[in-house]
Structure 1
Amino acid sequence: MSKATIGLSVTHRRYVPYSHAHYAGNLVDGAYVLGLFGDVATEVCIQADGDEGLFASYSDVQFLQPLRAGDVVEVTATITRVGNRSRELDFSASVVCRGRPEVSASAAEVLAEPLVITRATGTVVVPVG
């Protein structure tokens, strides 16, 4: 029996290692965040439907601020619509800690306010059950 309800939300946090920097300024590509959205969507499906589900599509993706190596990023998925097999999810990614390489190689700080870097809307599908 499905427990999929509007408002069900899952959050993950992850440190972004320097090995993921691809561009000058230790920038990390947007695909990294989309991969994290896939991970958090999987847990939403498991909690709601007891199945990993499948990601069907994104209807909107907005890259608002950069993600950098050395950041700690928090990603959240929230169910906003429940169909027979589909669930629409709103995603957000925020930097909660940021590396400070200008201070020292290992310096970092907790941000006073999380910095929203990416928002998206997507659809997952789960087996009928």
Structure 2
Amino acid sequence: MRTVSILDRNLSSTDACTPDGIVHYGRLFDIAGDAETEVLILNDGDESLALAYNDVEILEEIYVGDMIQFRSDLTKVGNTSRHTTCEVYKLATPASRAGIAEPLPGDMVWLEEPVLIARFKCVLAVKQELQRGVQPDGIVPDPWFELDY
């Protein structure tokens, strides 16, 4: 059973909250929800509802153009509750923001080591009647029609 979900995302201008391209940290929780949903679909075959975020640590600013990675780990499974930890890393940043003189549009500077920019824990719930069990192949059977494998 896979209990980890990894999601890479390049932040765009639609993620910005200021004219200078800073991305609001609430946007991290939006995107992290996708990584948490994936790990619970693999575990339960259904989406979840986030109940609480705990131990939130914001360590660095993020900007439009940054390439970030979300890693969501399933740490505890209860009857309906699921506990995850999420870490967010910066993988790359636009060359213009990194101080490169006269970069071409789209040039990126890839960091030698990913930089941890945020971490937090999340408590989620999956209703018992929606739990379909572990999806080992990552394929969730659709109850409305049969698939030919």
| TM class, shorter-length | 0.7 to 0.9
CA deviation digits over 1:41-72, x for unaligned, max 9? 11111000001111111122111111111111
Structure-1 residue corresponding to 2:40: 45
Structure-2 residue corresponding to 1:74: 69
Deviates more, 1:76-85 or 1:100-109: 100-109
TM-score, scaled to structure 2 = 0.77
Q: 5+ residue gaps in structure 2? A: 132-149
> Could you say what secondary structure the match of 2:31 adopts?
helix
Deviates more, 1:53-62 or 1:111-120: 53-62
**What is the distance in 1 between the residues matched to 2:85 and 2:94?**
27
**What is the distance in 1 between the residues matched to 2:46 and 2:38?**
9
**What is the distance in 1 between the residues matched to 2:66 and 2:54?**
27
> Could you say what secondary structure the match of 2:17 adopts?
strand
**What is the distance in 1 between the residues matched to 2:54 and 2:33?**
14
> Could you say what secondary structure the match of 1:37 adopts?
helix
> Could you say what secondary structure the match of 2:35 adopts?
helix
Structure-2 residue corresponding to 1:126: 126
Matched, 1:115 2:110: no
Please report how far the alpha carbon of residue 25 of structure 1 lies from its aligned counterpart in structure 2 after TM superposition: 4.2
CA deviation digits over 1:69-124, x for unaligned, max 9? 11111001101111111111000000111112243353311110001101000101
Q: Report the residue type matching 1:66 in the other structure.
A: E
Q: How many residues align?
A: 124
Structure-1 residue corresponding to 2:14: 19
Give 1 or 2 for the bigger CA radius of gyration. 2
Q: 5+ residue gaps in structure 1? A: none
Moved over 4 A (4+): none
Structure-1 residue corresponding to 2:137: none
**What is the distance in 2 between the residues matched to 1:100 and 1:22?**
21
Please report how far the alpha carbon of residue 24 of structure 1 lies from its aligned counterpart in structure 2 after TM superposition: 5.6
**What is the distance in 1 between the residues matched to 2:89 and 2:20?**
19
**What is the distance in 1 between the residues matched to 2:14 and 2:45?**
34
